[in-house]
Structure 1
């Protein structure tokens, strides 16, 4: 792919990051840039990136700094942050840095995955047809990782019936969401919809980015596997669904960020106040089941964080100073 920037965000997970680095070195097609956003600003991570930079140089060499200039620059870009800006902020700043460097494509992933050797080639095959591409993922056990690729704008929740199984003859699925585990978007899309909104900190930021991308292009879920998840978390099988354990911090953003998402829905006349209210009720119900079935030890504190997020979401809904992320300029 032309000028592909692989952007990963890491925070205090050096063992997982090392696995990701090892897998990147096995890619059949080298990324143009590898941007590592370090939310911990850790000397240990900096040392790992320095070692990885040398390994990348030995494997693929450096890249031209500009197509019209001679010479080369390091393929790996280390981008430590002075504060922990969350996954949302990390991806926002990482994409912004890659955009300024001149990237034409942005492949986004957390630090708890590994990439598959043929992933870039897979994206390359679809890049002539789509400007926003979501690849498939293997779970930690090697099985398929289930993902809800459609977002119900009326309720502002993931569509629980959008199972990503494939019918005979189906080559791709049209999405209105993305996941920052294996999604790949073009410069054209980033220019039009702006950077990921770092105000989300964590949760729903990637779903929103896919929603915004769907307003300017067709977003495609393709059958090619590009990543494998490497971090196992406690979970509970509930019929056709699986609920993973999460933290009280994330529980706050689960409800708080609904307010931000609703503001974007208003911009595109997709906001339904009755549906949004019902979706909020369903969100509380789902999180209550998660607390009882998976995270019972956090029942009291988890419920308090959900309620705090809900209260803050109401303020966001009525904040007269709120503005969306702006489009970018070259």
Structure 2
């Protein structure tokens, strides 16, 4: 498809959430300062970092920084909720969400701002230049037999960046390069802070798509991950609780039929039955707690609903 050209007068605020990764944050800020299209605002939410994050931020006089110092760790979901709300309240035309462990290539923001679409993502690569964009080309909330809703991804569909079309439609996003227009926030609301970590970005993408917005990965918007992907989290540890719970919430809220909405119960049962031969009692406790908590999260958190 021919890339639609956006209005050159649009403004953009970058929203960054950080927690105890001051050195990675410094690299990200260097990347933002080097953009060929400078951001109009950089809204940083610090999640009560205990390292030298404050010193890094206070030393930056080369960027239009607006820092929120949270007194507690709100997680990525809570931080992006605060940051997007601040960008919306300030009246910026677009908001660009970035994690603290990526660095945009110099032309990344310019490439995104040049596309006349409501929802976009920058396309990620690793430090070697290999394509590592994990956004789903298909996110299946219709098939009850699909254990994981994320099916094919950008990097499983295309061997490298050069093989991609200029725009590739995706069904879910990471808050690691996702851009939305103000009109999207007005219609679908804000990231849900109750997720804390994991699946807040996927849930937001489902809301946007259900409202009729298509999401496009922009081939020429290059975002470089500074760390390797580690998707194999310990499901018996504290992160496992959030991975299970928030995956269940996505199904309970957005499953397209009764069987899909019942799938979390089936997963819970299977994990408990198999716990003696896989994750043990800790994983079983996590999934039971996750199911109980997810039941109370069927509705979108009030603060995440569209602004009035």
Place the TM-score, normalised by the shorter chain, in its bin. Answer: 0.7 to 0.9
Give 1:302 deviation, angstroms: 4.0
Counterpart in 1 of 2:232? Answer: 244
Partner Cα separation in structure 1 for residue 154 and residue 29 of structure 2: 31
Instruction: Report 1:159-308 matches (<5 A).
Output: 159-164=150-155, 165-166=157-158, 170-214=165-209, 215-232=211-228, 243-246=231-234, 248-265=237-254, 270-278=255-263, 281=266, 300-308=281-289
Please name the residue that 2:120 is paired with: 133
Contact 1:138 1:225 in 2 (8 A): no
- Name the CA shift for 1:284/1:50 in 2 (closer, same or farther; >3 Å): farther
Instruction: Give the TM-score, by structure 2 length.
Output: 0.81
Of 3, 20, 25, the match for 2:11: 3
Gaps spanning 5+ residues in structure 2: where?
1-7
Residues 132 and 186 in structure 1, CA contact (< 8 A), matched pair in contact too: yes
Structure 1 spans left out of the alignment, 5+ residues: 57-74, 236-242
- How far is 1:186 from its partner? 0.5
1:34 aligns with 2:42: yes
How many pairs were matched up?
287
1:71-121 CA-partner distances (Å, limit 9, x unpaired): xxxx11011112211100100000101111111111101111111111011
Does the CA-based 8 Å contact 1:148-1:160 persist in structure 2? no
Contact 1:8–1:37 (CA under 8 A) maintained in structure 2: yes
Q: Does 1:46 align with 2:25?
A: no
- Following the alignment from structure 1 to structure 2, what is the Cα–Cα distance between the partners of residues 316 and 280? 15
Residues in 2 aligned to 1:91 and 1:309: alpha-carbon distance in whole angstroms: 22
TM-score, structure 1 normalization = 0.76
Question: Are positions 1:96 and 2:96 aligned together?
Answer: no
What's the RMSD between the two structures over aligned residues? Answer: 3.1
